[in-house]
Amino acid sequence: MKYFGTDGIRGKAYDYINESMAYAVGRSLYLLKAKRIIISRDTRESGHMIVREIKRGILDSGLEVIDIDIQSTPVLAFMTIQKSCYGVMVTASHNPYQDNGIKIFNKGIKITPDQEKIIEDVIDGIITLNPIMQGKEILNYNPLFSYFSLYESFITPTSLKIVFDLANGASIKPAKHVLLHVSNDIEFIGDEPNGFNINQNVGSTHMEHVVNYVKENKFDIGFAFDGDGDRVLTCDSSGNIIDGDLMIYIFAIYLKENNLLKNNTVVLSKMSNLGIIEALNSKDIKVVLSDVGDKYVLQEMEKHGSILGGENSGHVINKNLFISGDGLLNAVYLIKILTEKNTTLSELIKDVVFYPDRLYNLRNVDKTLVHHPKVISLINEITKELDGKGKVLVRASGTEPLIRISASARKMELVNDIIDRIVKTLESIQQERK
């Protein structure tokens, strides 16, 4: 795809994602047979411009648009199911405020590659559009009372002392609406957005913020969301970080104990640590590995009849709760498990032994180098050397201009050696091309 990556369209606001592109996206939606579109955004200053132009395109196509203002991506996805319609979320998720992006949903699920191609053709002026018509706009619609219905069957009041880092992002309204029903001992940090501070030293990409707050103020647990609220990471009272894979491990054990883990199968990504996979296997739970990206996780879940899957980044899909990732929903579900079992996070994950691993982001290189024969040959060579006692993954980021290199093995020295070999090979090829 020319514009769509692993998670919608994403790039520099005003430059890459400009008025023209935003308007074209709005104008294109009638070609997807959309009649009504819900639109929302995160707290980035640039969201005003992008939403304005997308709405203008929608209205010029004679469609109905419902503007729910600043809400999380999961709230938008839920409302597209409730209203049986399409939705547009203006967000760049965990990226800095200078970036923005566009995610498009149809009844809770991200649109297909064929639909993405139609939108790209409209952006490029390849498709002739219908004449301008007059649409209808609905403002001041509050979706949170409907959204809360997701929680009513399992929300569990707790005595735990909890802090939530809201990343100065889109989760602020839904989190404060829902969590009033969970505990009287909750604090919020990262809840003062100004249009320019989303993800800035806060949220799931800066776990030190919530970790330090938990330890300094003696909280039992801390949660941190990303900018648009579809991911969550957590930490225990000692500041130990519980990533998405560990959360999936906890959920999988709980669901299996309650005969709710369909096909005894979970889906993780190729970035997952081998220690998690071995721990799940030891509990007679099958693990399927997907490519990186929540849409690929979801594809494997559907293929293998699994209700639970996700990524170590904190994007977790628990179909017992909802059909796509929701950071707040998963946080409340984890609180339920802890409260119901009267236990701690460290106790729930005590059987997991992580392999040493490392993720390295290589910048200023051509992302297509991941397909170079020398790189592929080296990866195959390393995989053979590891003989199932480790793994390596080299991939182009779908949301940022870099190549991600991850490796895990029995010893950290070997992990570092693997990363170094791959980096040197990529940089050597890049130099040869100059």
Task: Kindly report, residue by residue over 126-139, the tens digit of the pLDDT.
Answer: 999 999 999 999 99
Q: Domains in the chain: how many in total? A: 4
Distances (CA, A) of 19 to 115, 214, 261, 318: 21, 42, 46, 36
Co-location of 19 and 138 in the same domain: yes
Residue type for position 189? I
**324 catalytically annotated:** no
Cβ neighbours around 431 below 10 Å, total: 9
The predicted pLDDT at position 341 comes to 97
Strand partners, 37: 65, 86
The predicted pLDDT at position 433 comes to 82
Residue 90 near residue 45, CB atoms below 8 Å: no
Mean pLDDT of the chain: 96
Residue 210 near residue 165, CB atoms below 8 Å: yes
The predicted pLDDT at position 397 comes to 86
Co-location of 231 and 282 in the same domain: no
C-alpha angle 417-312-274 in degrees, rounded to nearest 5:
50
Question: What is the average per-residue pLDDT within 339-343?
Answer: 97
Torsion angle, alpha carbons of 164, 167, 169, 172, to 10: 10
Co-location of 38 and 110 in the same domain: yes
- Domain end: 93, 122, 144, which one? 144
CA 103 to chain CA centroid, nearest Å: 12
272 confidence band (pLDDT: 50, 70, 90): very high
Q: Which among 274, 275, 257, 251 has a CA at the least distance from the CA of 266?
A: 251
The predicted pLDDT at position 207 comes to 98
Q: What token pair was written down for 167? A: 């990343």
Co-location of 219 and 249 in the same domain: no
Question: What is the average per-residue pLDDT within 71-92?
Answer: 98
List b or e across 314-333, with b for residues whose CB sees 16 or more CB atoms inside 10 angstroms.
bbbbbeebbbbbbbbbbbbb
Co-location of 22 and 130 in the same domain: yes
Distances (CA, A) of 178 to 185, 198, 203, 223: 14, 21, 19, 14
The predicted pLDDT at position 63 comes to 98
C-alpha angle 349-353-358 in degrees, rounded to nearest 5:
110
Co-location of 26 and 114 in the same domain: yes
- Domain end: 122, 144, 166, which one? 144
- Domain end: 98, 118, 144, which one? 144
Co-location of 309 and 366 in the same domain: no
The predicted pLDDT at position 250 comes to 99
pLDDT tens-digit series, residues 192-232:
999 999 999 999 999 999 999 999 999 999 999 999 999 99
The secondary structure element, H or E, covering residue 214 is: helix 207-217
Specify which of 40-54, 354-368, 375-389 reaches the highest per-range mean pLDDT: 40-54
Strands in 316-318's sheet, in edge-to-edge order, are 286-290, 265-269, 308-310, 316-318
Question: What is the average per-residue pLDDT within 283-308?
Answer: 95
Residue 281 belongs to domain spanning = 242-330+338-348
Size of the chain in residues: 434
Co-location of 59 and 83 in the same domain: yes
Is the confidence at residue 292, as pLDDT, over 90?
Answer: no
CATH code of residue 222: 3.40.120.10
CATH code of residue 409: 3.30.310.50
48 confidence band (pLDDT: 50, 70, 90): very high
- Which one of 46, 72, 93, 408 is the catalytic residue? 93
Is the confidence at residue 94, as pLDDT, over 80?
Answer: yes
Co-location of 127 and 9 in the same domain: yes
Co-location of 152 and 257 in the same domain: no
- This prediction's pTM: 0.91
Question: What is the average per-residue pLDDT within 54-65?
Answer: 99
Residue 70 near residue 42, CB atoms below 8 Å: yes
pLDDT tens-digit series, residues 156-169:
999 999 999 999 99
Question: What is the average per-residue pLDDT within 272-289?
Answer: 96
Torsion angle, alpha carbons of 143, 145, 146, 149, to 10: 140
Co-location of 167 and 112 in the same domain: no
Co-location of 258 and 196 in the same domain: no
